[in-house]
Structures are given as C-alpha cells and as structure tokens.
Amino acid sequence: MEGVILAGGQSSRMGKPKELLPVEGMPLIERTRHLLIPVTDRCIIISNHPERLDMIPDEVPVYPDDIPGQGPLGGIVTAMRVATSDILFIVACDMPALTVDVVLRLYDRASMLQTEYDIIYPVWNGRAHPLCALYHRRIWPLAKTLLKDGHRRMFDLIDGGRAFAWDATPHFPTDPFCNINTVQDYNQFQKGERV
C-alpha cells in the first residue's frame, strides 16, 4: 500500500500554505506523513510547490500535478500514474484532527479492494470524506476519462466506481476528518473547536 498526500491546492482562502501550518509541533504535511508510515510501504506527495517542503525527507518523492488546476481528482490521477502499489491510501494535507486510530481502521478494510470495491471512503455524521480514503488503481482509467470530460467532482469518481462507504461515526465522538481552509478554521481548531 502506498500513501499519497495531496498538497496541490492554492490555499487561497488561507492566504498561506495550509500544509505548513504547525499542528502538534510539526508542519501539518509532515504530521500527516507520520500517520501513514505504520500502514504504507512508501509515501508520495502531490504538490506544485516542492520548494516549500524542505522538511520532507529526500526519500519521499514529490510530484507536481500532471495537469494543474484540476483539484483533488487531478492529484489522484497523477498519483495513480506514478504509484508503485495497486492500493493507495489518499489523504488531503489539511486534516489536523486525523489520528493513527482512523488510519488503522481504514487500513483494516483494505482487503475489500482486492475484488469487491474500487474505493473505500469514510462517512462521519452523514458527511462523506473521499479525501481520506483507499483507492485501487484499477479506477485510474475512469478518473482520467472524467478529467478529460471536465468532470472534476470527487463524487463523479465515487458514483462511477464500486465504492464502499464506511460509517466512522460510532467510533469517533468528534469529526476526525475536519479540514481547515481559513485562518479562522485553524484558530478554532487550535482552541479545540472542530469546524
């Protein structure tokens, strides 16, 4: 299994790179990478700004989007092209509440990708989180076709593949998948408030 961290966004609403925000004493992207280490054979990063990532070890490859400006689906298509594993654990770089427990629980469902499903994504309190999910590379042709046809929504990919929605709500009292898009989001998170 390969870990993929998506950090290709512009962080326009934040006004500064989200992946570099300190969480628990380290940049958010490095914290995310550490969460993936126990369950992945290697980790890669999709980023159009490798110059920002000097804290990332040299053995972690950083790839730019094949086609910039296509959102997370574009990053996933790039990751599927460069991946060395069939199963990818894909995580956006802006989830500061993610925990090892979440990662391990998703990892435990990876065998379902061998034959039954193409995607396993969590749902918390009715909200789906396709940017902290497991993907099989067999869905790469569909992802490429969607992008080519101008369909960039993650749910276009989920609806077009065999997807399993894992209800994570009973396991976590607060949303472990919350993401941060603005300075206000980040400040609320730092105060212990989930956004």
Residue 6 marked in a binding site: yes
> What is the pLDDT, as a whole number, of residue 187?
87
Q: Does pLDDT of 195 surpass 60? A: no
Residue 75 marked in a binding site: no
Residue 148 marked in a binding site: no
Q: Does pLDDT of 8 surpass 90? A: no
Q: Report d(CA 99, CA 117) in Å as an integer.
A: 24
Residue 185 marked in a binding site: no
Q: How confident is the model at residue 10 (pLDDT cuts 50, 70, 90)?
A: low
Strand, coil or helix: 42: strand
Contact 123, 170 (CB under 8 A): no
Q: Does pLDDT of 131 surpass 80? A: yes
Give the residue-averaged pLDDT of 2-7.
Answer: 97
Query: Which residues make beta-bridge pairs with 182?
Result: none
Residue 8 marked in a binding site: yes
Segment 14-50, tens digit of pLDDT: 778 899 999 999 999 999 999 999 999 999 999 999 9
Q: Which CATH number fits domain 2-190: 2.60.40.10, 3.90.550.10, 1.20.1250.20, 3.90.1150.10?
A: 3.90.550.10
Residue 142 marked in a binding site: no
Beta strand ranges found along the chain (DSSP E): 2-6, 22-23, 26-27, 42-46, 62-63, 87-92, 119-124, 127-128, 132-136, 163-167
User: Model pTM greater than 0.85?
Assistant: yes
> What is the pLDDT, as a whole number, of residue 17?
85
